Amino acid sequence: MNSTLKRLAMAIAGLVTAALLLLAIVYVVTGPESPPSGSASAAVLAAGDHGVGKAELTLVDAERATPENGTYPGADSRTLVTSLWYPDEAVDGGSPLVIYSHGFMSNRTEGEYLAEALARQGYVVAAPDFPLSNGSAPGGPNASDVVNQPGDVSFLIDTLTDLPDDGKPFPGTVDRSRIGVAGLSLGGLTSTLVGYHPRFHDARVRSVISIAGPAGMFTRRFFLTRAAPFLMIAGTEDAVVDFETHAAIFPQRAPQSTLVAIRGGTHIAFAGIAEPAMRFAGHPDSVACDALQAGGPPEDGENPFAGLGDLTDGVNPDRTQLTICANPLGEPMHPGRQQMITQVAVVSFFASQFAEPAEARKAARAVLNEDLARDFPEVSVRR
């Protein structure tokens, strides 16, 4: 009996080993095509002189409230569970700070591949779970709380630039003159509001990235509030935030703006979880469409962006209502390749603003404006 069980256990172990080997082979064979060896984009993907540390903080803004939401009665404060990525040693002159904002029904780990890439280059990156728009929000995820999220970003900047040495999880300091924001979808909208909204903006923010964020409601006047450089990264096959409505309007809509357009890029593939999970899922956005169309707070028909303002704020109220998943789903690109493009664009854009010395900023601009489209034929860059 024991020998029979032993042979059975060995057979099962062999099957498991074979299955794992098969999965490893499939993973390699179905991987994304990399940019040409020796290209500028390949160099950016491999760049970074620092090891990466990570810490988790629970930060509470006692000065601002969390509104009631469905069955949730609200709170007198706003709690932000926040992940930090940082270089494992102090950076001469201090580290630039980037606040990353997640999308609707998502969470703070969504852009980890971007945060790690920036931390390897000396940045401190903070990503919070926003109180009511994250996927586990009490009362259900609610996009209308986006009007409060710029304040959350400002609170994080306040907190992280004023941490005492004995309460700081990262070595070195944050350079207050080099602060940027980035985010995906609703987080891209949050970052845009932090950068330019006449009432919600934070003057300390010097550079803004929106990845597939809603922007069609903003007039040219909105982007004249401040002169911060703006980068929009968007996919032409985005079923959630329509490319033509919200991305193709750049750079004509905003001075000092750049559009990185990815042919075949989808909405969900910008999120880290999409690679490799969405390699075999057909169009990745079908999952998001099912989730968004399933309903939840706010009620169907309510406009979650109604609180963003009016034409005096540079916001066209007639264009704040999103049309989600209305177009036929086209042919998507590989999510891993889409994330490579996004990483090169994000790292190069921030380096073009924050890198030292000036020659490094010039080189980063060349990667973003010239090399990216040369190395990835699916990309066009409009300035």
DSSP state, residue 152:
H
Given a cut of 50, is residue 296 above it in pLDDT? no
Given a cut of 70, is residue 49 above it in pLDDT? yes
**Which pLDDT score is estimated for 186?**
98
pLDDT tens sequence across 217-235: 999 999 999 999 999 999 9
**Which pLDDT score is estimated for 311?**
96
Given a cut of 60, is residue 285 above it in pLDDT? yes
Given a cut of 50, is residue 300 above it in pLDDT? no
pLDDT tens sequence across 64-102: 999 999 999 999 999 999 999 999 999 999 999 999 999
**Which pLDDT score is estimated for 171?**
94
- Provide CATH code, domain 37-382: 3.40.50.1820
**Which pLDDT score is estimated for 289?**
85
**Which pLDDT score is estimated for 297?**
44
**Which pLDDT score is estimated for 29?**
54
* Residue 356 or residue 13, greater confidence: 356
What count of residues does the chain have? 383
- % of the chain surpassing 70 pLDDT: 91
**Which pLDDT score is estimated for 281?**
76
Q: Which residues of 144-154 are buried (b: 16+ CB within 10 A; e: fewer)?
A: bbbbbbbbbbb
**Which pLDDT score is estimated for 302?**
75
Given a cut of 70, is residue 198 above it in pLDDT? yes
Domain ranges of the chain: 37-382
Distances (CA, A) of 25 to 92, 151, 159, 281, 339: 43, 47, 46, 19, 21
- Rounded Cα–Cα distance for residues 240 and 322 (Å): 9
Given a cut of 50, is residue 286 above it in pLDDT? yes
pLDDT tens sequence across 123-175: 999 999 999 999 999 999 999 999 999 999 999 999 999 999 888 999 999 99
**Which pLDDT score is estimated for 298?**
47
**Which pLDDT score is estimated for 322?**
83
Q: Tell me: cis bond preceding 357? Omega within 30 of 0 counts.
A: yes
- Rounded Cα–Cα distance for residues 39 and 267 (Å): 27
Given a cut of 80, is residue 54 above it in pLDDT? yes
Given a cut of 90, is residue 2 above it in pLDDT? no
pLDDT tens sequence across 166-190: 889 999 999 999 999 999 999 999 9
What pLDDT band is residue 347 in, cutting at 50, 70 and 90?
Answer: very high
Nearest CA among 176, 172, 143 for reference residue 159: 176
What's the pTM?
0.92
Name the percent of the chain in helix, strand, coil, to the closest 5: 40, 20, 40
**Which pLDDT score is estimated for 88?**
96
Average pLDDT score over the chain: 92
What contacts 283, CB < 8 A, 6 or more positions away?
A: 237, 239, 266, 329, 330, 332
